[in-house]
Each structure stands twice: as C-alpha cells, then as structure tokens.
A = this chain, B = another copy of it.
Amino acid sequence: MTFSTHDCSKPPRASSRQLANALAHTGRAFHARGWVLGTSGNFSAVLQREPLLLLITASGLDKATLNAQHFLEIDAACNVLRGPLQPSAEALLHLAVARVCGAGAILHTHSVWGTLLSDLHASEGGLAISGYEMLKGLEGVRTHEHNEWLPIVENSQDIPALAASIEAVLLSHPDSHGFLLRAHGLYTWGEDVARARRHVEILEFLLEVLGRRERREVG
C-alpha cells in the first residue's frame, strides 16, 4: 500500500452539495457494515476554514437512508447557519477536531470492536498499534513499523467538557490519526471525505485485528 503526499494547508474545494453527497454515501456504506447502527455516528466536512464553517449530519438520523438533505451548516460557535434541522449533539467534538487537526472531513463510528476495546483499555489511556501493513493506510505513514497511538478519552454527556478533553488530547498527541471515546466509538479525520473514510476503514480493521488477537492470547 502507498499513498501520495499532499499539501494539508489547501482548503477543500468541493461544493456543499457534493460534500453532503459524499458524506451521505459514506454513512450508508458504514451502516451496511454495522458501524453506525441505530442512528449512531455522525459525519462532517469543512466548508470554509476562516472563519470556520462546518457541514454536519443532523441529529438522530437512520444512516441507512442518509442523503444530502440531512446535513446542515454550523459556524465555529455551533450556530446553525443553514438547514432546518438540529445538529448532532457531538457537533462540538467535530469543531474541536476541525480546529486542532486542520481536518477537512471528520467521521465518527460506533463499531462493536471499537466499543469493546475502548472500554477494556481505558485505564491505559489508549491503544498502541504497531507492526501491521494496514497502518500505511494512515496519512503520512510509510512503514508497518510505525507506532500508532490511539488515545482513549473517558466518555461524558457534558459535551463542552468532553470537547475540551479531546482538544487537550489532540494537542498532546499531534501524530495520532484518531481517538476513541470510552465504550462509545471512534473519531478519525482526513484532508477530505475520501481520506477520512480510508482512515475509518483502516482503524476499524485494525481494531478488529487487535480484538480478535487479544482474545486468543488472553483466552
């Protein structure tokens, strides 16, 4: 596996409608894999960097039928600028990732393995992943010998406080490509929707590998 390098400072160029379609398509595919069941998960893309403008899924939608109408636009303070719907409650977390990581698209999934491992390893503060070729699917990684640290953040319903915790974790782990919320799920991102989706597929794959491996070794 190899990936070309690219300039992370470039603004996204796709139109709002194209981004919504790309996110909706991604959401339906993730639902088919069981990664966003029961209206879980939410997806966003940066429409404009300065001042920050984010396209994000509305709250409480069945991802099996997600389409471009299910997105709305919010500013950096989480005000809805466009769209009749409520943003996802976790919009503040997306804004934190967009701000700190400079991401162009942010995807959040709830898989079985992510739920399990984020709980079982919470006391260690994260998961170390190394030695797998699939790591090269993470932006900028050139070798399977890469050490990826996937931080685990304690879950909370106090979303502003959670956003602050996440911001601190992102700042202290600038090389991480994602993070887990404990017993909750995965956040990852990329320069655009395709790269963020690639990161979801890579990290969910590696979580399943770790999950199956450890039961073998423990059991």
Which A residues between 33 and 79 are near B, CB-CB below 8 angstroms? 33-34, 37-40, 59-60, 62, 64
A118 shortest CB reach to chain B, Å? 10
Identical chains in the assembly = 4
B201 and A38 form a contact (CB under 8 A): yes
Q: Is A80 in the interface zone, CB < 8 Å from B?
A: no
* Contact present for B133 and A37 (CB under 8 Å): no
Contact B205 A132 (CB under 8 A): no
Contact status A132-B184, CB under 8 Å: yes
Q: Which residue of B lies closest to A194 (CB)?
A: B62
Report chain B residues within 8 Å CB of A183: 131-133, 144
Question: 7 interchain pairs (CB within 8 A)?
Answer: A1-B39, A33-B34, A34-B205, A38-B198, A110-B133, A110-B134, A216-B219
Binding site for B on A (CB under 8 A): 1-4, 29, 33-34, 37-40, 59-60, 62, 64, 86, 88-90, 110, 112, 115-116, 119-120, 131-134, 137, 142-144, 155, 157, 181, 183-185, 194, 197-199, 201-202, 204-205, 208-209, 211-216, 218-219
A37 touches B205 (CB 8 A): yes
Q: A40-B1, A157-B143, A185-B133 are in contact. Are A112 and B201 (CB under 8 A)?
A: no
**Chain B residues in 8 Å Cβ range of A209:** 112, 115-116
Q: Give the CA-CA distance A35 to B48 in the complex, in Å.
A: 35
Q: Which of B34, B60, B137, B185 contacts A38 (CB 8 A)?
A: B137
Residues on the B chain within 8 Å of A40, using CB:
1, 133-134, 137, 202
Q: Which of B38, B59, B119, B144 contacts A155 (CB 8 A)?
A: B144
